[in-house]
C-alpha cells in the first residue's frame, strides 16, 4: 500500500461493530441514523478524523490511538476502504506489489 498516495481514506470514516448492551447498540444505530442491525453488524459513520492533515497524513502518527495502530495498511480492510472511497485509477496508483490480490 502506497499510503503517501492514498491521502487517508481510512481516516475519513469510522467503523463501529455493534456489540455489547442493547442500549449501547441502539444508541450507536441512532447516532448512525440507521435501523438497528443485528449484534456484530458494522456501522460506518462519515466522520473525518480531526488529526488528518490537509495532505491526508496523520498529524499525530507517533501518538495515534490503538485503533489506528492496529489497522493494517495494505490489508483487506484497508484495500476495501480505498476501493470504495477512491476512483478506480487512484486505487490502482495506491496499490503496491506486495498487496493482497484484488478484492
What local confidence, expressed as pLDDT, does residue 37 receive?
A: 61
Whole-number Å distance between alpha carbons of 64 and 68: 6
- Written as nine digits, the cell of 16 is 463501529
The 10s digit of each residue's pLDDT in 29-49 is 676 666 556 666 676 778 889
Question: Which of 26-30, 69-73, 81-85 shows the lowest mean pLDDT across its residues?
Answer: 26-30
Using alpha carbons only, give the angle 11, 38, 8 rounded to the nearest 5 degrees.
5
Q: Inform me whether the pLDDT recorded for 63 exceeds 90.
A: yes
What local confidence, expressed as pLDDT, does residue 101 receive?
A: 66
Q: Return the domain boundaries, the chain.
A: 3-94
Q: In the structure, what pLDDT confidence band is assigned to residue 53 with cuts at 50, 70 and 90?
A: very high
Q: In the structure, what pLDDT confidence band is assigned to residue 50 with cuts at 50, 70 and 90?
A: very high
What local confidence, expressed as pLDDT, does residue 61 receive?
A: 93
Query: Whose grid coordinates read 462519515?
Result: 46
Amino acid at each position: 500500500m502506497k499510503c503517501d498516495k492514498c491521502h487517508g481514506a481510512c481516516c475519513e470514516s469510522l467503523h463501529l461493530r455493534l456489540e455489547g448492551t442493547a442500549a449501547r447498540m441502539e444508541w450507536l444505530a441512532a447516532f448512525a441514523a440507521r435501523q438497528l442491525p443485528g449484534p456484530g453488524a458494522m456501522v460506518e459513520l462519515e466522520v473525518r478524523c480531526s488529526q488528518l492533515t490537509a495532505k491526508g497524513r496523520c498529524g499525530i502518527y507517533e501518538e495515534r490511538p490503538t485503533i489506528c495502530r492496529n489497522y493494517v495498511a495494505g490489508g483487506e480492510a484497508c484495500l476495501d476502504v480505498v476501493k470504495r472511497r477512491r476512483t478506480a485509477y487512484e486505487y490502482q496508483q495506491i496499490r503496491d506489489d506486495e498487496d493482497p490480490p484484488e478484492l
